[in-house]
Amino acid sequence: MNKDIYAAIMAGGIGSRFWPASRTSKPKQFLDILGIGRTLIQSTYDRFLKICPKENIFILTHSDYVSLVKEQLPDIQDFQILTEPARKNTAPCIAYSAFKINKLNPNANIIVAPSDHIILNEDEFVRIANLTVDFVSKNNALATLGIRPTRPDTGYGYIQYVEEETAPEIHKVKTFTEKPEKAVAQQFIKSGDFLWNAGIFIWNVKSILSSLETNLTEVYEAFAEAEKDMLTPNENKSVEDAFITSPSISIDYGVMEKAKNVYIVPSSFGWSDLGTWASLYAEKEKDYLNNSVNGNNVVVYDATNNSINVPDNKLVVIQGLENYIIVDTDDVLLICNKDEEQRIKEFTHDIKMKKGDKFL
């Protein structure tokens, strides 16, 4: 196994679109959303054990979730948990990981990935990851994995690429487009040179640090100052200062959309970002009425195309509903038309205003 390969798993989000199962105190990456006996972060960790040594896997998470990380990933050591004292989007935490890994190994190649995605064909993912690592280890390149789209989904970002290969399966990126309207997404699918942005990045540590210095100077300088204290007892204080100084900005907007050395690998490995209940419904097995059911005591009459997620110990009877999301937890019941799922963020905002944080 290549000891120069590192993984940085991002696990600091609150998964608000998966409310009410996903809560601020225990967001979706720490849940067994798929009902397979492993949480999403555990499945992601297991996947990277096929690519790099366990001591090379780092978890980037909010300070609120350190105990959950330790509980669910007991093999992770304290120095492998990179704590975000504040949510500042992806660029600051990725900069933190790059500087810290650089201090450990200046020859490192880093795979950055979210903790809450599913990948069904892990062998193909491992093959693509190793192929891309080989490319970035020999070139000053920032690479991202693009998913061949199967539908004109408006919930994903799209990346356009040059048809000619720079290296086997590697293409130069032309444009980024954030979550287009449906008509535009349909044109992207028709053109054949657009991919979904999976948010999985691969680069050599020297390349990402150089690009941060050029394109996101404020973030670079904040963490360059903190680097001297990394791997010492003063690390947390210096990193906290760096987060305070850094703007809240995504790595996509701050670096990837500006840099001239960005490449993409068209990929098909059974990927879903599990961003919404609808995306979970698409991945789950269905009954003969096309319902996705997560719960051991669900009885359905004349109900079709529903996403049903209820406790195993509760008898739930559903009659006559079509195309609904039904989620029951200890203290919240959500019944929402699947076509209106984007309103869940509106619901949680209103609940916060009227009821406080108790149910969030």
Report the distance separating Cα 351 and Cα 262, nearest Å. Answer: 41
Q: What is the mean pLDDT of each run of 10 residues along the chain (360 residues)?
A: 93 87 91 89 97 97 95 96 92 96 97 94 96 96 92 85 92 89 86 90 97 96 95 94 95 93 94 84 90 93 95 94 94 93 90 90
**Domain chopping of the chain, boundaries:** 5-272, 285-355
Instruction: Fold for 5-272, please state it.
Output: Spore Coat Polysaccharide Biosynthesis Protein SpsA; Chain A (3.90.550)
Q: What is the pLDDT of residue 274?
A: 79
Residue 64's pLDDT is what?
92
Task: Measure the CA–CA gap between 284 and 147, rounded to whole angstroms.
Answer: 19
Cα 204 from Cα 207, distance rounded (Å): 5
Q: How far is residue 225 from each of residues 153, 155, 229, 238, 248, measured CA to CA in Å?
A: 41, 37, 8, 8, 18
Q: State residue 279's pLDDT score.
A: 82
